[in-house]
Amino acid sequence: MEEELIKNNYTDAQKQEIFDKEFMPNINAMYNFAYRLTLERDDAKDLLQDTYLKAFRFIDSFQKGTNAKAWLFRILKNSFINDYRKKSKEPSKVDYQEVEAYYNSEEVDRQITPDLRVESLGNMIGDEISNALNSLDVDFRTVIILCDLEGFKYEEMAKILDIPIGTVRSRLHRARNLLKEKLSEYAKSMGYKTA
């Protein structure tokens, strides 16, 4: 990654300042990201702490004035893949490329036109949307979090995830269709309950 080529030589005071003013303000967003990736509170805590300590260790490769949030999110995502994904309970996605190819086919695009209305969202006052999000495959839930919750631009997402912008765009589109599909299942089951 090109950022690692930059080597600053911050003093301890500068390091502390960057950590407090640029890294710490992102800690809630980072914790949420860690939780949505691992889906376990304890793993999320470990992942967050590992990431922050790693960020501090590599603070000299962070360029002051650049996007600290994107830099931190990228470290967290890489730590998750290298250290957590392997041991997570989620079944391994060996055939992920197949999955992605499937969701990218025009065929699926036509099939998935979830029947979901704004009014049914109004009834989802509990954990429905959070559960729906968590039920998506990790790569799909990741793009929704980065875009819809954290407001990253496609270009920033491409850097965080190490994928081309076109893939960001199409993955987001599929992810949102899948989320709607899940929500419309909930809406249906809620409808049955009140009927």
Give the nearest distance from C-beta 65 to another protein in angstroms: 21
Amino acid occupying residue 123: N
Task: Please name the residue that has the structure tokens 């967050």.
Answer: 48
**Piece of 1-9, 73-81, 86-94, 120-128 that binds another protein (CB under 8 A):** 120-128
CA neighbours closer than 13 Å in the CB half-sphere of residue 149:
18
- Alpha-carbon distance 30 to 53, whole Å? 13
Q: Per-residue x/- marks for another protein, 123-152, CB under 8 A?
A: -x--x-xx--x----------xx-xxx---
CB of 167 to another protein, least distance (A): 14
Inter-CA distances, 149 with 32, 117, 141, 144, 164, Å? 10, 21, 11, 7, 21
Q: How far is the CB of 163 from another protein (least distance, A)?
A: 16
Token digits of residue 143:
């793009």
Q: Which of 118, 192, 193, 195 binds another protein (CB under 8 A)?
A: 118
Cα–chain center distance at 93: 17
DSSP codes joined into one string, 138-184 = HHHHHHHIIIIIT---HHHHHHHHTS-HHHHHHHHHHHHHHHHHHHH
Q: Check residue 52 for interaction with another protein (CB under 8 A).
A: yes
Q: Is 36 in the site for another protein (CB under 8 A)?
A: yes
Is 121 among the residues that bind another protein (CB under 8 A)?
Answer: yes
Q: Does residue 53 bind another protein (CB under 8 A)?
A: yes
Stretch of residues binding another protein (CB under 8 A), selected from 63-71, 87-95, 96-104, 176-184: 176-184
SS (H, E, C) 42-72: HHHHHHHHHHHHHHHHCHHHCCCCCCHHHHH
- The single residue among 70, 116, 160, 161 that binds another protein, judged by CB under 8 A, is 116
Distance (Å, rounded) from C-alpha 140 to C-alpha 134? 10
Binding site for another protein (CB under 8 A): 12, 15-16, 19, 24, 27-28, 30-32, 35-36, 45, 48-49, 52-53, 56, 109-110, 113, 116-118, 121, 124, 127, 129-130, 133, 144-145, 147-149, 153-154, 169, 172-173, 176, 179-180, 183
